[in-house]
Amino acid sequence: MGILRHSILKKFKVNDAENDPVFKRIFLSKNVSFLNAYPTDKKNNDYIPVPISIVKEKDKENYFDLAYNEDYEYIKEERIQTNSLSNNYINIEGKYINIINPKYVLHYHHKRPEDKSVGHATKKSGEFYSYLSLCAGEKFKGCIIGSKSDLGLIKELIPENSIIFIGKSKNAEYSRAKISFGEIEMLNSEISINDEEKLIITLTSPMILCNEYGNIDSDPRNFIKIIQEEYPSLVCNDKYFIRHVTVYGFNSKWGLPRQQVQALASGSVFVFDIKDKNNDFSGLSTKAYGLRINEGFGRIAVNIHGFKPLEKMDNENDEYIDMNLISQHAKPLIIYIEIEKIKKELIKKAISDAKKQKYGLENMTNSTIGRLKTLLKKSNSEDDFKKLLSEEFKKERKINGIKKYLDDNTFINILQELETYQTFKKLNIDYIEGSNIVNELFAFYYTKLFNVLRHLKREKEGARNA
């Protein structure tokens, strides 16, 4: 929200934010809600904090949902030991689930002296501290709820794929992120009521509740009372799975921390019995309850689990890294390491192809190989080498083998067959193809190929003379 607030103040040159009608409507009213952004995968699937009722069998890959009666009774009868899945995030598609957790890295630092001209820690001022930060490449997906006109205005505030800075140490090596917006869509308010006549509400963000006297009170019965007053046909019977969390905050305008309050944690689950299925619950899933709902608190999901046994999907190895988010100092090092790995694979291929004797390359003389290496040094690319080759050996048939080899094995195809090439794709290096890197690797590969051919020829001649 802070980034958007700053953008709207800057774009519309707002001096008195509290009295500006646009600023008040978007940020100071309940007309627009900014929901939490949660980790997502490379397919941008929707994830939420794992419901507290979903647990994992200890030391096994079996998952159960305590909100599902059959799972609850089975765990109770078999006395199965389970582990909580707190601090994880889940995507639920029917009975299939996928669980992810963002990756972190620990950075170590020394505090700089007050005299900034001293670029290192000293005995008097060298306090050691650490940062736990999200790894580069982690993706998060959130939602903003409001009118189409307000959402359109918000999209215009920040250009697509803008680089923003969030979190601490914005002037150092941290906080760099890329932001993009999806299409504006209507909220889906449909709720499917199944034959079990149950309605299961799952908190997707913390909920700050008040009791009948207006005091903040995280007793789950306060939420049950609100729901039953709004939908009298729902009965809870004290079947819920909850956890509490302390909500913190900071008011940058005052420079002071906000009041700490107890709230129901995201992932808390409430199971209601339905007395009358004819009641309309369609608007329930789009609502929020409690305080600070415009900041994303009090959001719920309805009937997304608790009706079927769970099966965990195979989690694809999602190692996508956006090179735009990596430190400018680290990027050249990463590219260098990957190129060195490619060179090792190319050497193995050069040795293998030289020994195959498929194109008659072994019949070339040392003189012809020497001339080919000279042309390779003069050329700037694969196409340039082929052109020089045709001009140098106009009518000589001795190089027909290497010509056919070049035609059948374009270098970009050779690269794409390498395992390391796929790593380049995961690193989002968009200049591997059609760049000077390819030309350098082309020259490297054929230099190795010609050297191996010459070495094999010498070995053959040595064995014959012996």
- Identify the structural domains of the chain with CATH numbers, from first to last: 45-98+191-321 (2.60.40.4350), 103-136 (no CATH), 328-465 (no CATH)
Higher model confidence: residue 101 or residue 464?
101
Band of the pLDDT at 317, cuts 50, 70, 90? very low
Higher pLDDT, 126 or 134: 134
Q: Residue 430: pLDDT above 90?
A: no
Inter-residue contact 269 to 112 (CB < 8 Å): no
Report the pLDDT value the prediction gives residue 66, as an integer from 0 to 100.
Answer: 94
Is the pLDDT at 432 greater than 60? The verdict is no
Does residue 299 have a pLDDT over 80?
yes
Q: What is the pLDDT averaged over residues 335-350?
A: 86
Q: What is the rounded CA–CA span in Å between residue 224 and residue 245?
A: 18
Higher pLDDT, 163 or 266: 266
Which residues fall within 8 angstroms of residue 267, CB to CB, at 6 or more apart?
Answer: 48, 49, 50, 51, 52, 86, 202, 203, 243
- Cα separations in angstroms, 86 against 299, 384, 434: 18, 59, 46
Give residue 403's pLDDT: 82
The pLDDT tens digits of the residues spanning 151-203 come to 888 888 888 778 888 877 766 667 788 888 888 888 877 776 666 688 999 99
346-368 pLDDT tens trace: 999 889 888 876 777 777 888 88
Above 80 in pLDDT, residue 70? Answer: yes
Q: Report how far residue 407's alpha carbon sits from residue 399's, in angstroms, rounded to the nearest whole number.
A: 13
**For the segment 280-290, what is each residue's pLDDT rounded down to a tens digit?**
787 788 889 99
Check if the beta carbon of residue 102 is closer than 8 Å to that of residue 318: no
SS (H, E, C) the chain: CHHHHHHHHHHCCCCCHHHCHHHHHHHHCCCCEECCCEECCCCCCCCEECCCCEEEECCCCCEEECCCHHHHHHHHHHCCCEEECCCCEEEEECCEEEEECCCEEEEEEECCCCCCCCCCCCCCCCCEEEEEEECCCCCEECCEECCHHHHHHHHHHCCCCEEEECCCCCCCCCCEEEECCCCCCCCCCCCCCCCCCEEEEEECCCECCECCCCCECCCHHHHHHHHHHHCCCEECCCCEECCEEEECCEECCCCEECCCEEEECCCCEEEEEECCCCCCCCCHHHCECCCCHHHCCCEEEECCCCCCCCEECCCCCCCCCCHHHCCCCHHHHHHHHHHHHHHHHHHHHHHHHHHHCCCCHHHCCHHHHHHHHHHHHHCCCHHHHHHHHHHHCCCCHHHHHHHHHHHHCCHHHHHHCCHHHHHHHHCCCCCCCCCHHHHHHHHHHHHHHHHHHHHHHHHHHHHHHC
Integer Cα distance of 66 and 75 in angstroms: 8
